[in-house]
Amino acid sequence: MFNALILNQEEKRTIAAIEQIDESQLPEGDVLIEVDYSSLNFKDGLAITGKGKIIRNFPMVPGIDLAGTVISSEDNRYQAGEKVVLTGWGVGENHWGGMAQRARLKADWLVPLPQGLDSKKAMMVGTAGFTAMLCVQALLDAGVKPEAGEVLVTGASGGVGSVAVTLLAQLGYKVAAVTGRVEQNGPLLEKLGASRIIDRSEFAEPARPLEKQIWAGAVDTVGSSVLAKVLAQMDYNSAVAACGLAGGFDLPTTVMPFILRNVRLQGIDSVSCPFEKRIAAWEKLTELLPDSYFEQACTEVELAEAPKYAEDITNGQVTGRVVIKL
């Protein structure tokens, strides 16, 4: 028997509770894993609190990522004792996820733990950091160079945003970081590499079709009216990597930035990212993230604390990454 955070639905309310479960209750899969760490992402927060329609079938173990050790494997790509990482693939949404001491998963969903990382550090990066790397790679692929000007990161104090700030700074970009809690989060963002901090209130006014050109590139984790404002302020021939909807899934913009300023809007999906691209992203993360990131931008909690932090993350009260020790 082992511990798991189990979500059930009662009278349209999501109830989270730690339960003892048996290995036989785990869903089908090729690889049985002893989970060392999971992490708390915004999507996990929506699932655990029931604020978002993330989970359709109950009971469910949340946790869209995990890192741990292979106990047994029916796939010859993985052997007992090997360390692995999982992000995405609908785990924690429609397949039992990482917030349990054991998980059974498909081998196709896994990647070997990158050299230079242990399980805890891998989850300090987690889905959020992996997504941030995909966003930064999209800007690189679009030809956005450090000398072109400032790069904006919205939702900069969150999981994706804080890693994006760190990665961009490490690559030599001048980073402007947007946060709703400047006094609280500004010092950390500056330590991570932000050259200036911008209050989210500056993006509160509805965007005009086109505004003053400011940004050479942008990573947006918020969506909705914030993304519309960002698009209106982009330089000619710039790019925006969009990966989040914390502010809403609508986009009240016009075609003007695209057809008059040649702005590229690149969507970023980390859930179904192909294996080769995953490996490349993890290698780049290992190369770029400094030791100072792991020392400054992460909080470790116990499984029993996950529901509280889930509420906090959906209310914008979490800074950086939250890792869950199993």
Q: Find the mean pLDDT for residues 29-55.
A: 95
Q: Which residue has the tokens 């029916």?
A: 74
In this predicted model, what pLDDT tens digit does every residue of 203-234 receive, in sequence order?
999 999 999 999 999 999 999 999 999 999 99
Say whether both 263 and 211 belong to one domain.
Answer: yes
CB-based contact 270:127 (threshold 8 Å): yes
- Summarize the confidence of residues 170-186 as an average pLDDT: 95
140 and 239 together in one domain: yes
Task: Of 98, 159, 87, 168, give the one whose Cα is nearest residue 129.
Answer: 159
Number of domains in the chain: 2
| pLDDT the model gives residue 168 | 98
Q: At what angle do helices 119-141 and 275-288 cross, to 10 degrees?
A: 100
Whether 170 and 246 share a structural domain: yes
Over range 69-97, report the average pLDDT: 97
CATH number, position 69: 3.90.180.10
Asked whether 318 and 312 are in contact (CB, 8 A), the reply is: yes
Same domain, 98 and 197: no
Q: Which two tokens stand for residue 138?
A: 């999209």
Give the β-pairing of 234-242 and 264-267.
parallel
Please tell me the predicted confidence (pLDDT) of residue 265.
98
In percent, the amount of the chain with pLDDT more than 90 equals 91
- The stretches of the chain forming alpha helices (DSSP H) are 42-49, 119-141, 159-170, 182-192, 224-232, 256-260, 275-288, 291-296, 306-314
Domain that holds residue 46: 2-113+297-325
User: Do 131 and 263 belong together in one domain?
Assistant: yes
Is 276 a domain residue? no
Bridge partner residues of 175 (DSSP): 151
Cα–Cα nearest to 56, from 7, 17, 22, 124 = 7
* Pair (261, 159) in one structural domain: yes
